[in-house]
């Protein structure tokens, strides 16, 4: 009960194998409006609590779960109380201060946006679900806070458009949040999101870093700039539109059509939305040792083949000899969807290539030393694929 004699209910979840002194990660969960009150029951019954219980043997987080009073939301004093409660839980159970995460659904999703807009430096990562965002995009990007946002395409139009606008604002400000827009109707995206193994792995991969705000921003490259400055093999015209960059029309050629960056990179993070049409089964990218890809016989580098399950085998193969260096992880391959905008992320650092598909790690492979001897830098490239648009290309170069 607070100074105004208003009662508040709080719950704490401890992992089944918790022992003092373990420095567990802490998760603050903000519930939706339907769970408001003081009963302490609906907070965990309607969402989140059920998923935690299903995964209790593999769920490492201590959870701070405040209940929002009736007819209010996660703003002002309520949000302050939630953060203060998380601090009390952290102190009592000795959680890891650099692994403090925040998540919430609907009204609680909006509460997450409110919290990270006000104090982004407090969190290691944030996962808002189906909330209405109102944030200062520039400030949030400058904080370096990792964000994974979930909502349904068939939710209320106002909410969907607000989330899309916020994502674009974050991209234009130099950020690259992970966004999952489920191709589903209704408001409930939490049953699926909170059962996502990849989401929890992503959370734990992020820790609060004192130097996070110094992270290099991404450059969002417009489709017109890509088509204008990147180099096309065989002089075929790639198409730039509001939907992104699409392949040249089918020409009957037996060789692959490449669109090659005019800049080479030694260290690189490349993120792109691969919008698969109904008939698309794969997305193919490349890292080339030379910007001249016109001669198939002399191409050096690797091809990255990301295909749906019906599209066959995916992975990384050498363009020198055609040998596969690694295969696409089956779980990640199943995340690729037709008629969907798939989030593809490549990270190349010290000749180690890591690729994620819709938040799931697809593979992690060391590039052969001979490529480094031939060229210390790589030219990113698109390879033409049927019924595929590549949108929102973001680059963050380390050199």
DSSP state of 265: B
Contacts 24+ apart (CB under 8 A), 138-142: 138/173, 140/116, 140/170, 140/173, 140/175, 141/170, 141/173, 141/174, 141/175, 141/217, 142/213
Which three-class secondary structure state does DSSP give residue 120?
helix
Q: Which residues of 200-226 are buried (b: 16+ CB within 10 A; e: fewer)?
A: bebbeebebeeebeebeebebbebeeb
DSSP conformational letter for 184:
E
What are the contacts of 196-200 at 24+ separation with CB within 8 A? 196/359, 198/335, 198/358, 198/359, 198/360, 198/361, 199/127, 199/148, 199/359, 200/59
Could you tell me the domains of the chain? 10-214 (3.40.50.1820), 219-397 (2.60.120.560)
Q: How many CB atoms lie within 10 A of CB 287?
A: 27
**The Cα angle at residue 136 between residues 130 and 141, in degrees rounded to 5:** 90
What pLDDT does 251 receive?
A: 44
Of 383, 148, 171, 358, residue with least CA distance to 260: 383
Q: What is the pLDDT of residue 252?
A: 47
Number of neighbours of residue 10 by Cβ within 10 angstroms = 16
Does pTM top 0.85 for this prediction? Answer: yes
Which stretches in the chain have pLDDT values below 70?
Answer: 1-7, 40-41, 210, 213-215, 235, 249-255, 291, 293-297, 369-376, 399
Predicted confidence at residue 47, as pLDDT, reads: 75
pLDDT digits (tens, 9 = 90+) for 23-71: 999 999 999 887 777 776 677 777 788 888 888 888 999 999 998 887 7
Query: From residue 131, how far is each of 89, 92, 135, 155 by CA, in Å?
Result: 25, 30, 12, 11
- Pick the closest to residue 304 from 379, 355, 255 (CA basis): 355
What is residue 310's predicted lDDT score, i.e. its pLDDT? Answer: 81
């Amino acid at each position: 009960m607070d100074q105004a004699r208003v009662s508040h209910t709080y719950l704490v979840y401890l992992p089944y194998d918790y022992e003092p002194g373990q420095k567990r990660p802490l998760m603050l969960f903000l519930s939706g409006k339907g769970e408001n009150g003081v009963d302490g029951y609906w907070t965990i019954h309607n969402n989140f609590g059920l998923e935690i219980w299903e995964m209790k043997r593999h769920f490492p987080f201590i959870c701070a779960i405040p209940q929002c009073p009736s007819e209010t939301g996660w703003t002002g004093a309520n949000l302050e109380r939630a953060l203060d409660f998380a601090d009390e839980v952290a102190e009592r159970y000795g959680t890891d201060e650099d692994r403090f995460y925040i998540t919430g659904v609907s009204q609680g999703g909006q509460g997450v946006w409110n919290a990270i807009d006000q104090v982004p430096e407090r969190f290691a990562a944030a996962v808002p679900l189906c909330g209405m965002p109102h944030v200062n995009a520039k400030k949030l990007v400058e904080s370096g806070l990792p964000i994974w946002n979930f909502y349904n395409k068939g939710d209320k139009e106002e909410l969907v458009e607000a989330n899309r606008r916020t994502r674009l604002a974050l991209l234009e400000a130099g950020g690259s949040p992970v966004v999952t827009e489920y191709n589903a109707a209704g408001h409930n995206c939490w049953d699926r999101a909170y059962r996502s193994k990849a989401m929890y792995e992503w959370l734990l991969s992020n820790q609060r870093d004192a130097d996070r705000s110094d992270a290099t921003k991404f450059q969002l490259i417009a489709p017109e700039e890509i088509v204008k400055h990147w180099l096309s093999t065989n002089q075929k015209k790639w198409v730039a539109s509001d939907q992104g960059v699409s392949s040249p029309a089918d020409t009957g050629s037996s060789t692959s059509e490449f669109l090659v960056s005019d800049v080479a990179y030694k260290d690189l993070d490349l993120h792109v939305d691969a919008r698969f049409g109904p008939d698309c089964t794969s997305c193919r990218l490349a890292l080339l040792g030379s910007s001249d890809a016109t001669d198939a016989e002399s191409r050096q580098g690797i091809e990255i083949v990301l295909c749906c399950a019906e599209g066959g085998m995916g992975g990384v193969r050498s363009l020198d000899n055609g040998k596969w260096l690694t295969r696409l992880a089956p779980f990640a391959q199943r995340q690729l969807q037709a008629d969907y905008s798939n989030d593809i992320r490549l990270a190349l650092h010290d000749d180690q290539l890591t690729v994620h598909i819709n938040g799931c790690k697809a593979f992690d492979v060391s590039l052969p030393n001979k490529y480094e001897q031939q060229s210390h830098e790589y030219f990113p490239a698109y390879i033409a694929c049927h019924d595929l648009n590549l949108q929102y290309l973001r680059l963050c170069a380390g050199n």
